[in-house]
Structure 1
Amino acid sequence: MMPLRALLVVAAAAAIAALPAGAAAKEKLDIIDTHVDDRGGVTVTVAAPAGLAETDLTEQFAVAEDGVTQVAQAQLVAGGSREVILVIDTSGSMNGRAMAAAKSAAVSFIRQLPDGVGLGVVGFGDRPRVASRFREAPAAAINAVRSLEARGETAMYDAVIRATEQFSSSPDVSRTVVLLSDGADTVSDASLSSAKSALKAADTSFTAIRLKTTDSEVAPLRSLASSAGGILLSANDPGALDAVYAQIAKSMKNEYVLRYASTGHGPAELRLSLPDRPDVSPAVAELQLPKAIPAPRPRATPAPAPPVAPATTPPSPLVVLLQNPWTMRGAAASVFLALSVLFLLLRPRRQRRVNGLSALMPARGRHNHVDHLGEWAKSRVDQALQRRNLTDRINHGLEQAGILLRPAEFVLLVAGISALLMLVGQVWKGPAVGLLLAVLPVLGAKVFLGVKAERRKRAFGAQLADTLQMMAGSLRSGYGLLQAADGVAKEAASPTADEFRRLVMETRLGRDIEETLRAMADRVGGDDFTWVMQAIEIHREVGGDLSVVLDQVGGTIREREQVFRQVKSLSAEGRMSAIILLALPFIVVGGVTLMNPAYMNEMFTTGIGRMLIGLCFALMTVGTFWVRKVVKPKF
């Protein structure tokens, strides 16, 4: 009979043989990366067993945090939403068998990755070098790996930072750094803490492969992996690198991302499991959740410090003058006087009916005090203008502009507007703005007269050809020169009608017609009317058919006008380009100043910025004169 002990051994062996193959070694979940944001959002990257690669596990995960079940969303990491950077040590210590084994394992790893994975390769010796980028095909990454050569020192931290810089900025991409090294960092410019910060900022998982040698140090690799929530794998010899890389590739084919919102604080234990898969062991990881913010303690309010009198500088004499109340009273009185003058100039005068002997009698009591005050103000201004020889100059400008005001009236009008603007500026922003606004009407009056005179001159020149045709027709009909001019005054449009009406009136009052024509040419300006005046003077001296002369001059003026219009049409594009180019700097500077004022401070507050502004204005001035010379023909 068989002994009892032998029977037990046989029974145990039979029971073990009857167990399924998988019962001897259970498969397990593998947490690759964990990330916790400042608001408690937890993101976990987990690798399921390779045997479940064909099974959808998105609805089967159970998440527990310190034993409390959490509601998490799971998503399979597709190849197109993953970016992988291979960081390979190419220092001199890897030369020989280790470098060959690393290349072979990396090439095999690339071939095992799912389709669509973005892949980059970074080698590092004395300094990191990007051998292949994401946009290149897998074949290019394989060729890049095969081209790596071992030499130099070990700049591992610099290589980690360079690898994190290669990732795209898309928020929907899962990022992974796979680092292989056989030694410690020796020549990096960056520190270990900088490399850890770069991994955290890139939001990437990190897998470190340590090839055991006499020079290898495990502490830096473990610190990098811990900071990124990654893992550290070891290969005892170069021949084991194939198995390590194959393990990483298999995990990438069946990875899931789980996300949930945690309400905990401080350190916590995370447990992932598949309740429907009892043959798969759960995975456990440590989380560092945000710390609870303590309630603020009430602080004792410090006693207020005694006020310190600020250092003051004595104001300038101008500021003292403007702050004097009598100065403001004088300004107010000036404004009142200016408004009164404006009222005197602009108020309509009532027409009085006179007849019989009352028209010859002195008008006693019929003029009120307002009229006397207005006449007195205008007479005083007129005397001041005559003493400075300004009356004729202002009167000439008013006549050229076609403004029916006397010089004294125009000066009083400008002074009244200036005083009014000074009061508005004083009330709005202060004395400085008031003085600035007071100067604007004085400068603007001269510009206004020049623009008005130029427009009137162009309008008269455009009507001159038709005017000469009308006069030539009247002369051929038997009318005299003065009668032809009277017909133009009645039939033509302004300003031609206004000028010829004045010509007829002055001639009838006894002024010589040649002198009247010269005065008219001086008011309207232009070479065309000067020719007309000279033709009339020659006709009065030598005789002849004036209508034929006027027809010929009118034809010449029409041809000149046609050439001018043609040149204006042909140069329209150039003039518009010049306007746009001159306006564009101001538009750009204004837009940038409104959107980002600090960006333009360097231009206005530094010496080189002011020099550039001055250079720009100088070049713009030269360009403006150049364009004007190009598009303005001369005859």
Structure 2
Amino acid sequence: MIDVDLHSLLVPLLAALAFAGGVFALAYPYFADDRQAKRLESVSGVRGARLANAAGDVQSSRRKSVADTLKELENRENASKKVSLSLKLVRAGTKMKPREFYVASALLGALLASISVFIIGLSMAGTFVVAFVGGLGLPRWILNKMINRRQQKFVGQMANALDVVVRGIKSGLPLNECIQVISRESPEPLASEFREVVDQQRLGLSVGDGLERMCERMPLPEMRFLTIVISIQQQSGGNLSEALSNLSNVLRDRQMLALKVKALSAEAKASAMVLASLPPGVMSMVYLSSPGYMMPLFTTTIGHFMVVLGAVWMGMGVLIMRKMINFKF
């Protein structure tokens, strides 16, 4: 019995060892070549180490300045995640103050509540919901739409502005004058944002500080790229025109990618719109053709429960589809 057990244990063990040995024999040449290449690199690196010390010091200082700049921008971004209402109004490009926004929101909520009570004839609960949505939800939704529209316009015009800066620097103009040209000749919202940078320079701020403040008003990846490039150039030097030209090409590639994603996701968005509008559309057509068939949904407690439950499920489905078809890159 013991011999049988030992035999049954030794056979799979020897098979596993043979398999591992075969795998090692096949893979060893690749690892051996890799180790030989690393050894040759280390030997050749010893010969050129003395010549590369000076260049290594310069590169290490540049890497340190880049890391410090990125760390500073990351800290500022983490500190400004909670955006105040006044900053949102600035990002939307409006001259409205927070107090005026609150007053306008309250007036809109009161107007919608009055329409719900005196014209539509809703109950108190429905009127409260309408007033809440109209006073708090609708104004902030409109404000966010204004911010997104303004940021999209800014991104669409930024590559051309960088080309203006690149051509100006190559022709001998300083960076300050190139920014002034953008503030005078570019369309909105690009002109107003760079005009703020020009005004801040007249007050004594540097170009990097002005761009960092503009990055707070326009929290976009493209704007962060520009801020990083300018900050690194001011700290460690380098060919600014080449860096901005590369950045302009990157921005155009990102815009092309965004257009491709928009075109490819158009079918999914159309399908989501059809699926979202199908249940209320069918419900409306059935109600128009045979109102008595649909009236129990509005006159009984079970019907009210079914309507609310269906609306909740529909809302969850719409949110899930919206999350699936909105691509962020």
Coarse TM-score class (shorter-chain normalised): 0.5 to 0.7
Q: Equivalent residue for 1:517?
A: 211
Residue among 285, 309, 320 paired with 1:625: 320
1:494 is paired with a residue of what secondary structure? coil
Spell out the pairing of 1:492-507 with structure 2 (5 A cutoff): 492-507=186-201
The 8 Å contact of residues 568 and 631 in structure 1, kept in 2 or not, is answered as no
The 8 Å contact of residues 414 and 445 in structure 1, kept in 2 or not, is answered as yes
Spell out the pairing of 1:451-600 with structure 2 (5 A cutoff): 451-600=145-294
What count of residue pairs does the alignment treat as equivalent? 244
**1:486: how far off?**
1.1
The 8 Å contact of residues 398 and 449 in structure 1, kept in 2 or not, is answered as yes
List runs of 5+ in structure 1 lacking aligned partners.
Answer: 1-391
Corresponding letter in the other structure for 2:185: E
The 8 Å contact of residues 421 and 438 in structure 1, kept in 2 or not, is answered as yes
Residue among 49, 71, 92 paired with 1:401: 92
1:403 is paired with a residue of what secondary structure? coil
**1:416: how far off?**
3.7
Q: Partners of 2:206 and 2:275 in 1: how far apart?
A: 52
Corresponding letter in the other structure for 1:474: G
Q: Partners of 1:615 and 1:408 in 2: how far apart?
A: 39
Q: Partners of 2:312 and 2:116 in 1: how far apart?
A: 29
Q: Partners of 1:568 and 1:607 in 2: how far apart?
A: 43
Encode CA deviations 1:482-521: one digit per residue, 9 max, x unaligned.
2111111111111111111111112212234323212211
Q: Equivalent residue for 2:142?
A: 448
Spell out the pairing of 1:109-148 with structure 2 (5 A cutoff): none
Q: Does 1:614 align with 2:309?
A: yes
1:632 is paired with a residue of what secondary structure? coil
Q: Partners of 1:551 and 1:583 in 2: how far apart?
A: 46
Q: Equivalent residue for 1:81?
A: none
Q: Equivalent residue for 1:171?
A: none
The 8 Å contact of residues 578 and 624 in structure 1, kept in 2 or not, is answered as no
The 8 Å contact of residues 456 and 524 in structure 1, kept in 2 or not, is answered as no
**1:551: how far off?**
0.6
List runs of 5+ in structure 2 lacking aligned partners.
Answer: 1-82
Spell out the pairing of 1:209-288 with structure 2 (5 A cutoff): none
Encode CA deviations 1:322-378: one digit per residue, 9 max, x unaligned.
xxxxxxxxxxxxxxxxxxxxxxxxxxxxxxxxxxxxxxxxxxxxxxxxxxxxxxxxx
**1:463: how far off?**
1.2
Task: Label 1:454 to 1:431 Cα distance change in 2 as closer, same or farther (>3 A).
Answer: same
Task: Label 1:397 to 1:589 Cα distance change in 2 as closer, same or farther (>3 A).
Answer: same
Task: Label 1:631 to 1:448 Cα distance change in 2 as closer, same or farther (>3 A).
Answer: closer
Q: Partners of 1:569 and 1:421 in 2: how far apart?
A: 38
The 8 Å contact of residues 272 and 321 in structure 2, kept in 1 or not, is answered as no
The 8 Å contact of residues 532 and 553 in structure 1, kept in 2 or not, is answered as yes
Encode CA deviations 1:39-74: one digit per residue, 9 max, x unaligned.
xxxxxxxxxxxxxxxxxxxxxxxxxxxxxxxxxxxx
Q: Partners of 1:420 and 1:633 in 2: how far apart?
A: 37
Corresponding letter in the other structure for 1:404: K
Q: Which has the higher contact order (CA 8 A, sep 6+)?
A: 2
2:191 is paired with a residue of what secondary structure? helix
Task: Label 1:466 to 1:407 Cα distance change in 2 as closer, same or farther (>3 A).
Answer: same
**1:409: how far off?**
2.5
Q: Equivalent residue for 2:105?
A: 414
**1:443: how far off?**
2.3
Please give the TM-score of this superposition, normalised by the length of structure 1: 0.35
Corresponding letter in the other structure for 1:402: G
Q: Equivalent residue for 1:223?
A: none
Q: Equivalent residue for 1:150?
A: none
Corresponding letter in the other structure for 2:86: N
Corresponding letter in the other structure for 1:504: V
Spell out the pairing of 1:11-160 with structure 2 (5 A cutoff): none
Q: Partners of 2:100 and 2:281 in 1: how far apart?
A: 40
Percent identity over paired residues: 26
**1:404: how far off?**
1.0
**1:471: how far off?**
1.5
**1:622: how far off?**
4.2
1:531 is paired with a residue of what secondary structure? helix
Q: Partners of 2:261 and 2:117 in 1: how far apart?
A: 49
**1:598: how far off?**
2.1
**1:585: how far off?**
1.1
1:478 is paired with a residue of what secondary structure? coil
Corresponding letter in the other structure for 1:621: M
Corresponding letter in the other structure for 2:183: A
Task: Label 1:607 to 1:412 Cα distance change in 2 as closer, same or farther (>3 A).
Answer: closer
- Pairwise CA RMSD of aligned residues? 2.9
**1:522: how far off?**
2.0
Structure with more strand by fraction: 1
Encode CA deviations 1:211-241: one digit per residue, 9 max, x unaligned.
xxxxxxxxxxxxxxxxxxxxxxxxxxxxxxx
Q: Partners of 2:161 and 2:294 in 1: how far apart?
A: 57
The 8 Å contact of residues 507 and 516 in structure 1, kept in 2 or not, is answered as yes
Q: Partners of 2:106 and 2:114 in 1: how far apart?
A: 12
The 8 Å contact of residues 414 and 441 in structure 1, kept in 2 or not, is answered as yes
Task: Label 1:579 to 1:502 Cα distance change in 2 as closer, same or farther (>3 A).
Answer: same
